[in-house]
Structure 1
Amino acid sequence: MAGLDSMVFGGCKTDCNNQKLRGKCTGFDCCQTTVPSSGIQRLNVTLESTTNNMNTCKHAFVAETRWLESNETDPSNDVQYLEYVPVALEWTIPNSTSIINLTEAHRRNMSVDYTSYGAAFYFCFSGYGGNPYLNMGCQGINQCEVNRCPNSSPICESLKGGAYRCTPQKKRKSPLKIPIIVISSSFGVLFLLLVIWWLYKVIKKRNKVKLKQKFFKRNGGLLLQQQLSSNENNVQKAKLFNSKELENATDRFNENRILGKGGQGTVYKGMLIDGRIVAIKKCNTVDEGNLEQFINEIIILSQINHRNVVKLLGCCLETEVPLLVYEFIPNGTLFQYLHEENEDFSLLTWDMRLRIVTEIAGALSYLHSAASLPIYHRDIKSSNILLDDKYKAKVADFGTSRSVAIDQTHVTTLVYGTFGYLDPEYFQTSQFTEKSDVYSFGVVLIELLTGEKPVSSTRLAESRNLSTYFVHSLKENRLFDILDTQVCKVCNKDEVMAIANLAKRCLHLNGKK
C-alpha cells in the first residue's frame, strides 16, 4: 500500500498455514496495516505471494481502526468471512494558494472547517453558492429563483445576505384609469360640495324658522291668538302674511316706497302677488308699549266694517318689527290738502268739505254707537283722515284706540293724542270718553273752515291754539275774517255759520255739553 503523491509506503505480511484463527489478526491468514488519516490523494493496494500461489488471498478492504478493533475483540465475528464492511472516507481538496487565511476566506463569502481527522475544507456562507475552490468563489444566490412566494404576495425581492421578501403585486395603472380617477375625484368633490351646500341651506332654513318663531312670540303673536280666540271679541280673522311676501311687495322695504312716517311707524306702498296695491305699516320699535298698541289696532280694526274706515287686510308678526297691511288709499291725507302747497288745493270746495266732514262724522258715529263694542279712536286729526280715489274720507291709524264695554262711560289711561286736537277735559282728568273724539272732530271742522293748522307759531301768543282763536273770533263776530278763501266763496253764509256753531259746540270745554 502506498500514497503516491505523498510518497508514503506501508505494508504487511501474513502466513497462510491453514490455521483457523478468529478474532485479532496475528499475521496468520490475515494482514493489516494503518493508513495516514490525512494528506493522501491516492490509495493503491497490491497483493503479492512469495510462493506464486494467490488462491489463498481473498479480500482486501479499508476500514476504521475503531471498528476493526471492536470486531477483533468479539470472537463471534471473523472479518475475513464478512460479506461487507463499513467504510468511512473523508475527503478534501488541497488548499488553494489564493486562500491565505480565515480573514481572506470571509472576504470571499466562505468559511473553513475541519474533519474529525483534521482535514481542512471550505464552504460558502448561507445564501451564497458556487465553488469556493475556483476563482469565481462564492456568489450570492437569488433566493427568488429557488423559492416561491405565495399567491397573496407573489412578488419576490432579493435582500442582502441571501434573504428575500415577498410583497403584493402592484397593479399597473393603465392610461385610461388616470382620467377615470381624475373624473371620479372631481365628481366626489362636487358631490361633497353639494352635500355641504345642502346642509348649509337646511341649517339656514331651520335657523330662519326659529328666528321667525321668536319674533312671532316677541311681537305679541300669542297675545293676538288669545284675543282672537276670546269669546268677548267679535273678531273677523285677518290674514297672517309671511315676511317673504311683504318683502317682495315692498322691494325689501325700499325707501322709494315710503308713503309717510309717523310716531308709531313708517308706511310703505306695496303690491301683493295678486296685483292688489296695499299700504304696509312698519312699527318703529318693539317696546312693550308699542306692542300693545299694535295688537290693539289689529283687534279694533278686525271688528270694524265701514266704508269710511280704512280696511285692515292682515298682519305679519314673524319679522323683527310688527307689520300691518291696509287697503291702499291713493290720495294722501286731508292735512296735506289743507296745509301743504298742493296744486290740487282748489279741489277742496265747500261742498267737498261738507261731504268729507259728514263722512268723518258717520265713521265716528259708527265707532261710538254701531260697532259690536264701542270704540274710542283717541287720535282724530286731519293727518289721520285719508282720501281715496274719489276723495271720500277714510279714518285711519287706530294704534291708540280702545274698545269699551257697552255700559262703560269712559276709559282711564295715560294721556294719548296730538297737541292741538287734545280734549282739555281728558287732559285734566285722564278719563277718555266718546266726547273726547268729538272735541278732536271739532278741531278738524275749524281746520276745514279756516285752512289753519291746530297750532301755529305765526299767530299771536294768545291765538296760537286754533280752537281758542276760533272761539274768540266767533264771539267777536269776526268769523268771516278768519275763514279760508275757498269757504269765503260760498254764497250761503247761513250754512257756513251753522257749521261754525256746530264746531263751537264740539269744542265746548264741558264734554257733556
Structure 2
Amino acid sequence: MWWRRRKRQDHFFDVPAEGNTEVHLGQLNQFSLRELRHATNNFSNKYIIGRGGFGKVYKGRLSDGSLVAVKRLEEKSPGGERQFQVEVESFGMAMHRNILRLRGFCMTPTERLLVYPYMVNNSVASWLRDRAMNVAPLDLLTRRRIALGTAQGLSYLHEGCRPKIIHRDIKAANILLDENFEALLGDFGLTKLMDNEDTHVTSAVRGTIGHIPPEYLSTGKVSDKSDVFSYGILLLELITGQRAFDLARLANDDDVMLLDWVKGLLWDRSFERIIDPDLRNNFIEIEVESLIQIALLCTQFSPLQRPMMSEVVKMLEGDSQLAERWEEFQNMEVYIHRHRSDMYIDSTANLSAMELSGPR
C-alpha cells in the first residue's frame, strides 16, 4: 500500500507495505504501541492536549522520564494515512532550530502515531487567546522574536530544503514555544514537497479560514508565496492578539477577516485600536508599525509582489529594504486607488491614504 525507497538530502526513507511495521528513517526512533500506551495512561482523555481533523494529541511521559506529545491519527480519518506519511517525510528531512523535531513514530496495522518533544509553553495561540489572567502576556520583544524564529524556519523550508517544503497551514496555533519561548513550526500534515516546481495545483483547498491566500482559493495553486501570505496573517495575530477569522467582530460592524479589519482601521487612522490591549501600555510604536508593514507586504494580492521569507528575515533584522519596499507598496496602492474603476481591486486599495512611518 505504501512502500518506496526514496533519497532526500542524504536521508533514505524506508516505508513498509501494510502489515510490515518495521520502518527506518534517518535517526528517528520507532516506538512500540505498548510503550506509548503506557506513556499516555492508555490514551486517557485526561492526557489530551490537542485535537485536530486527523485525531488527538496526548501528553505522555516515556520510561526515561522525558515528556512527549503523541499525535494519534484516527484509523478512519480521511487522509490520515497520507498525513502520517507527509509528517514523517517532512519532519524527517527538516533539520532546523525553528522546526519541531520529530522524535519518532509507531506504526502497526491499525495505529499510526507520531511522537514529538512536549512544548512546555504550548502554542502562540494559547498565549494570545487562552492565557490565564494571572499570567503575564507576551511582551513585544518576545512576539518579535517569535516572528523572527518563524520566518527563519519558513525560509529554511522554502530555500534550504531540496525539495522545498510548503507548509500550507501557518497560524498561531501551529507555532509552538519551547521553555525559552523560541518558536518552532509544527503540524506538517498539509505539507507539499515541491521538488523544483514553483507552483503546484491541488484538487482540494485545505488550510485555515483567514490564512488561505486568494490565489489558492481561486485557482488551487500553492507555492512558497502561499506560506508568505499566511505568515503575514500570523504577524497580524501577534500584533492584535485576535483571530484571523472571527464572527464576533460583526457585533461591532467590523470585518470578520483580520486582514480586512486591520486595513479598515488603518484607513480610519485608528492605529491604537489595532494593538493587542495586552501591549498598549508596553510597546514602541515604531516597532509595531514595522511589523504591520511587513505583514501587509506579505499579504499582497499578487504572489509575485510578496517578499521571499529570506527577505522577511532581513526586514525583521532591520534591513533597509523594508523602507524601500514599503514606499513601493504605498505608491502602488495610490495608483490602484486612483484607477480602481478600470481594474480589478483587492482589499489593499483602501490603504492609499495610510500614513505609517518607515523603520528607523
User: TM-score, structure 2 length as denominator?
Assistant: 0.76
Match of 1:360 in 2: 150
Paired residue for 1:395, among 185, 200, 206? 185
Given that 1:368 and 1:376 are in contact with CA atoms closer than 8 Å, whether structure 2 keeps it comes out as yes
Aligned to 1:482: 274
Instruction: Identify which of 281, 284, 288 aligns with 1:496.
Output: 288
Cα distance, 1:345 vs. partner? Answer: 5.2
2:54·2:77 contact (CA, 8 Å) conserved in 1?
no
Of structures 1 and 2, the one with the larger relative CO (CA 8 A, separation 6+) is 2
Shift of 1:490: 4.2
- Distance, in Å, in 2 between the alignment partners of 1:230 and 1:492 is 49
* Structure (1 or 2) with the larger CA radius of gyration: 1
- How many residues get paired? 288
* C-alpha deviation, 1:237, in angstroms: 4.2
Aligned match for 1:410, one of 195, 199, 212: 199
CA deviation digits over 1:319-343, x for unaligned, max 9? 5231001111111111111112423
CA contact (8 A) 2:163 2:194 kept: yes
Note if 1:436 corresponds to 2:212: no
In the alignment, residue 262 of structure 2 is paired with which amino acid? F
Cα gap change, 1:345 to 1:473, in 2 (>3 Å): farther
Whether the aligned pair in 2 keeps the contact of 1:350 and 1:486 (CA below 8 Å) is no
Q: Does 1:250 align with 2:75?
A: no
Displacement after TM superposition at 1:473 (Å) = 1.8
SS of aligned partner of 2:248: coil
Equivalent residue, structure 2, for 1:427:
217
Indicate if the aligned counterparts of 1:377 and 1:400 stay in contact, CA closer than 8 A: yes
Report Cα offsets for 1:216-261 as digits up to 9, x if no partner. xxxx6x43xx2xx323564324222111111111111111111111
Please say if residues 337 and 345 of structure 1, whose CA atoms lie closer than 8 Å, have aligned partners that are also in contact: no
Mark the runs of 5 or more structure 1 residues left unpaired by the alignment.
Answer: 1-219
User: For 2:88, which of 288, 298, 309 is the aligned residue?
Assistant: 298
2:137–2:278: 8 Å Cα contact kept in structure 1?
no
Distance in 1, matches of 2:30 and 2:173, equals 27
SS at match of 1:330: coil
1:459 is paired with a residue whose SS is: helix
Match of 1:271 among 54, 61, 66: 61
User: In structure 1, what is the Cα distance between the partners aligned to 2:8 and 2:150?
Assistant: 27
Q: How far apart, CA to CA, are the structure 2 residues paired with 1:491 and 1:382?
A: 20
The residue that corresponds to 1:308 in the other structure is 98
The answer to whether the Cα contact below 8 Å between 1:338 and 1:345 also exists between their aligned partners in 2 is: no
Checking the alignment, whether the CA contact within 8 Å between 1:376 and 1:403 is kept in structure 2 is yes
Distance in 2, Cα, partners of 1:316 & 1:496: 44
Task: State the match for 1:340 in structure 2.
Answer: 130
- 2:6 aligned residue (227, 230, 234): 230
C-alpha displacement at 1:396, in angstroms? Answer: 0.5
- In the TM superposition, 1:102-251 aligns within 5 A as 222-223=2-3, 226=4, 229-232=5-8, 234-235=10-11, 236-251=26-41
Aligned counterpart, 2:166: 376
CA distance in 2, matches of 1:290, 1:362: 29
Partner of 1:463 in structure 2?
Answer: 255
- In structure 1, C-alpha distance between the alignment counterparts of 2:150 and 2:239, rounded to whole Å: 15
Measured after TM superposition, the shift of residue 287 of structure 1 is 5.0
Please state if 1:280 is matched with 2:70: yes
